[in-house]
Amino acid sequence: MSNVPKMFGSLVFNDTVMQERLPKATYKALKETRERGKALEPKVADVVANTMKEWALEKGCTHFTHWFQPMTGITAEKHDSFITPIAGGKVLMEFSGKELIKGEPDASSFPSGGLRATFEARGYTAWDPTSDAFIKGNSLCIPTAFCSYGGEALDKKTPLLRSMDAISKQALRVLKLFGNMEAKRVITTVGPEQEYFLIDKAMYEKRKDLVYTGRTLFGAKPPKGQEMEDHYFGVIKPRVAAFMADLNEELWKLGILAKTEHNEVAPSQHELAPLFTTSNVATDHNQLIMEMMKKVATRHGLTCLLHEKPFDGINGSGKHNNWSMSTDSGENLLEPGDSPSQNAQFLLFLAAVIKAVDEHQDLLRISVASAGNDHRLGANEAPPAIISMFLGDELTGILKSIEDGTSYEQKDKVFMEIGSDILPRFPKDTTDRNRTSPFAFTGNKFEFRSVGSTASLACPNMMLNTIVADELEQFADELEKAPDFKAALNKIVKDTIRDHKRIIFNGNNYAPEWVTEAEKRGLLNLRSTVDAMPYYLKKENIDLLKKHGVLTKTEACARYDIELENYYKQINIEALTMLDMIKKDILPAAASYEKDLAETASQKKAMGIGTGFEEDLLKKLSGFSEKLYDDAEKLEADVENTPEEKSTYDIAAYYRNTVFAQMEATRKPADSIEALVGSKYWPYPTYGELLFGVM
Ligand code: ADP
Ligand code: MG
C-alpha cells in the first residue's frame, strides 16, 4: 500500500493546491467566493483557470469537462480537449476563465419536464466553486450546476445549493438570538452510508434482467438466504477485500474520506461510509463513490449492484443519510452542549426538526420515491413508507417532562427546565438501538434511512434543509419580537412537543401494528411513488419551496413530471425485459425439459416399467408453463395498451396498478418452473450462485 497521506486528495484541486499555486490575491478572492458565496471576477477566473490547467497537465490531463447532475440521477460530462490550434499546424494547451465558469453542453436529451421547450433548447453549466475540481482519467472535472437559459434548474445540485443558503439564513437568525454573533454561515453536513451488492461479473452478464434493469426479475428462493445472519460484519472474503482496498485508494486520491466498510446482513451485501462533509460536497462525493464502485468492481471481475432491491426475499440496499447542521466554526447544532444556554439552543433546533418532519412527511417521502425504492419502502421491509422519528427513550423522556412541566430524572442527572440545566449527552449506544426507524436521532445527528441506494443525495437533502429552514424562520420571527426571550423559547419548545409528538415513534417500525397505530395518529402512508408524487403539487408545498428560493413553481412541476416519467419508463423496461426472458429463455428451457421427461416417460411405459416420476413432474411443469405463457401474454397486452394520450400521472398510475401488478403475477410461475427444472436446462445463474458465488 502506498503512502496514504501523500496519496490523499492527490487528484483534487483543493485548498492546499490553491494556496500553493495561486497568486496571493487570487487565492484570497477565490476563498471569499468559496466561503461567502461572493461572485468571482472574470480576471480572477482567468488566473484560476490557467493555474488549474497547469496543474492538470502535470497530472497527465488532456481534456476538461463540466461535471453535472441532470435529472437522470446520474452524472453527466462532456469532454473538451485543452487543444487550441496556432500557426504552423501546432497547438497550445489552453483553458480560459470563461471555460471554467460556464459551459454549454448540448443538453436537449436530458429530462427537463418540458422546461426547455418553453424557453430555450439549450442549457448551460456553471461552476460551483464550493466543490473542488478533480481529475478522472485524463480529464479535469469541474463540478457545475446545470440550468436552462431562463435560469431554471435542470439539475439536482442547484436546488440543493439554494436550500443550503435558505437554512443558513434562518439558522443564523436563531443563533444571533442566543448571542452568537460570530457565525457567518450555518452549513448542513451529510455522511452517507452506501449499501451495495457485489456479484461475479461473468454471472451478471448471463442475466439480462440484471444487465437491463439492475435487479433480478426472476429467481427461485435459494436453500440458504440471509436467515442465519452470518454475513453481517463477517470476515470479508479475499476478492471483496481486494476490491475494497482498491476502491479506497481510488477514493482517497479523489479526497473522499472513505472510512468504514463492512459486510451487511444479506449475503454479498456490503456498506461503505465516508466521513461527513458539507451537503453539496457529500452529494458530489457520493456520485463519485457509486461510479468508482462500479468501475473498480469490473477490474476485479465483479459487478457492483446499486439497485434498491436486486434480489427478492433478501434485504434491499439503502443510503443512510446522516444529517446535521453546524456553524462555520464547527459547532454541531444538534449536539447537546456543555452549558444550559447551549442546551436550550439544542432543544430549539431539535424542535425545529421535529416540527419539520411532522408537518412535511409528504416532502420527505417524495424525496426518496423511485420505482426501485418502492421495493423497500412500500414492501415489508424496514424502513417503511410511513415517515416517523426515533428519539430514543432518554430524549423522549426529557421532552415529555418539558411538555408536562415536571423534572426529568435519570441516574445522577436531573433535568429541570429549558435553559437552566445541562442536558445529558446521548451516546450512540443508547440512541441507536432502533434500526427500523426512517428518521433516527443518533446522539448528535439524524439518520434519514429511507433514501434509496441508487438515489442522488441532492433531493432528500434539499427537502430536509428547506423544511427545517421554514421552521427556523417561524421560530426566529416569534423570538425576535418576544419581550421575554426565555419565556417565548420555553413556549415554542413546549408547544412543538405537544403538537407534533405524534411523529415520534421509538418502537419497531417493521411491525404490522405500527401501520394501524400510525393511521390512528394521522400519519401519512404513501406506499408508492405514484401515491407520493401528487403531494409535490400541493399548494402549500409549492409555496414553501418558492418562499425559500429553492424551487419555482415551474421547477417543482417539472420535477414532479420527470420523477413520474422516470418511474414508468423504468417499469416499462422491466416489463419488456421480463417478456424477452420468458419467450427467449424460460419457456424454451421448460419445453426442453418437458420434452425429455415426456420421452423418458413414454419409453418407460413401452418397456413396462410403469409411469415414473417423469409423468408427474411433466404434469406439474406443463401446468406452470401454460400459466407463465398466459401471464406473459397478458403482460404484453398490458404494456401495449399503455394510455399514451394521458397525463404523466395517469400513465405512471397505469404502470403501477396494471403493468407492475401483472409483472408480480407473471414472476410466480417462472420461479416455480426454476425450482422444478434440472440445472442443465436452466439458462441463468440462480440466486444461490449469484449470492454465494464470490469467494
Ligand atoms: P452507523 O452505526 O450507522 O454505521 P457511524 O457511526 O459509522 O454510523 O456513522 C455514520 C455516518 O455518520 C458517518 O458517515 C459519519 O461521518 C456520519 N456523521 C457523524 N457525525 C455527523 C454529523 N455531525 N453530520 C453528518 N454526518 C455525520
Ligand atoms: Mg447507519
**What's the pLDDT tens digit per position in 58-70?**
999 999 999 999 8
CA distance linking residue 638 with residue 582, whole number of Å: 16
Establish whether residue 383 lines the binding site of ligand 1, counting it when its CB lies within 6 angstroms of any ligand atom: no
Which ligand does the CA of 428 lie closest to? 1
Contact 357, 389 (CB under 8 A): yes
Residue 429's pLDDT band, with cuts at 50, 70 and 90, is: low
What stretch of H or E contains 195? strand 186-200
Q: What average pLDDT does the segment 77-97 reach?
A: 87
Measured CA distances, 207 to 79, 215, 277, 688 (Å): 32, 9, 38, 14
Tell me the pLDDT tens digit for each residue of 440-491: 999 899 999 999 999 999 999 999 999 999 999 999 999 999 999 999 999 9
Q: Whose CA is nearest to atom 2 of ligand 1?
A: 432
- Helix (H) and strand (E) counts in the chain: 27, 20
Tell me the pLDDT tens digit for each residue of 180-221: 999 999 999 999 999 999 999 999 999 999 999 999 999 999
CA distance linking residue 502 with residue 399, whole number of Å: 13
CA distance linking residue 649 with residue 645, whole number of Å: 11
Establish whether residue 439 lines the binding site of ligand 1, counting it when its CB lies within 6 angstroms of any ligand atom: no
Domain boundaries 4-155, corresponding CATH code: 3.10.20.70
Q: Residue 437 is placed in which grid cell?
A: 426507524
E-strand ranges in 559-639 read: none
Q: Which ligand 1 atom is nearest residue 274's CA? A: 14
CA distance linking residue 288 with residue 290, whole number of Å: 5
Phi, psi values for residue 130, rounded to 5°? -80, -10
**Helix, strand, or coil (residue 605):** helix
* In the predicted structure, residue 610 carries a pLDDT above the cut 80: no
Supply the pLDDT for residue 577.
98
> How close is the Cα of 194 to the center of ligand 1, in Å?
12
CA distance linking residue 192 with residue 318, whole number of Å: 10
Establish whether residue 449 lines the binding site of ligand 1, counting it when its CB lies within 6 angstroms of any ligand atom: no
* In the predicted structure, residue 409 carries a pLDDT above the cut 80: no
Domains 4-155 and 163-411+424-551 share a fold: no
Supply the pLDDT for residue 393.
86
Give me the residues paired with residue 128 across strands. Answer: none
Domain boundaries 567-691, corresponding CATH code: 1.20.120.1560
Each domain of the chain, given as residue ranges in start order, spans 4-155, 163-411+424-551, 567-691
- CA torsion 75-255-368-306 (nearest 10°) is 70
Establish whether residue 535 lines the binding site of ligand 1, counting it when its CB lies within 6 angstroms of any ligand atom: no
Q: How high does pLDDT run on average in the chain?
A: 91
Supply the pLDDT for residue 228.
63
Query: How many CB atoms are located within 10 Å of the residue 37 CB?
Result: 14
Q: What average pLDDT does the segment 506-525 reach?
A: 94
Q: Which ligand 1 atom is nearest residue 334's CA? A: 23
Residue 107's pLDDT band, with cuts at 50, 70 and 90, is: low
- In eight-state DSSP terms, residue 110 is S
CA distance linking residue 564 with residue 30, whole number of Å: 40
> How close is the Cα of 388 to the center of ligand 2, in Å?
16
Q: Which amino acid is at 612?
A: G
Q: Which protein residues have a CB closer than 5 Å to ligand 2 (ion)?
A: 193, 320
pTM over 0.75: yes
Tell me the pLDDT tens digit for each residue of 138-159: 999 999 999 888 888 989 999 9
Contact 216, 312 (CB under 8 A): yes
For residue 495, what are the contacts with CB-CB under 8 A and spacing of at least 6?
A: none
Give me the residues paired with residue 221 across strands. Answer: none
CA angle 72, 75, 77 (to 5 degrees): 120
- In eight-state DSSP terms, residue 155 is B
Which of 240, 447, 454 minimizes the C-alpha distance to 248? 240
State what percent of residues in the chain have pLDDT above 70. 93
Establish whether residue 273 lines the binding site of ligand 1, counting it when its CB lies within 6 angstroms of any ligand atom: yes
CA distance linking residue 403 with residue 511, whole number of Å: 28
Establish whether residue 268 lines the binding site of ligand 1, counting it when its CB lies within 6 angstroms of any ligand atom: no
CA distance linking residue 535 with residue 537, whole number of Å: 5
Establish whether residue 335 lines the binding site of ligand 1, counting it when its CB lies within 6 angstroms of any ligand atom: no
Establish whether residue 322 lines the binding site of ligand 1, counting it when its CB lies within 6 angstroms of any ligand atom: yes
Query: How many CB atoms are located within 10 Å of the residue 484 CB?
Result: 9
CATH class of the structural domain 163-411+424-551: alpha beta
Establish whether residue 444 lines the binding site of ligand 1, counting it when its CB lies within 6 angstroms of any ligand atom: yes
* In the predicted structure, residue 300 carries a pLDDT above the cut 70: yes
Write down how long the chain is. 695
Residue 120's pLDDT band, with cuts at 50, 70 and 90, is: low
Q: What average pLDDT does the segment 497-516 reach?
A: 94
Tell me the pLDDT tens digit for each residue of 240-274: 999 999 999 999 999 998 887 778 778 899 999 99
Supply the pLDDT for residue 119.
47
More confident of the two residues 506 and 115:
506
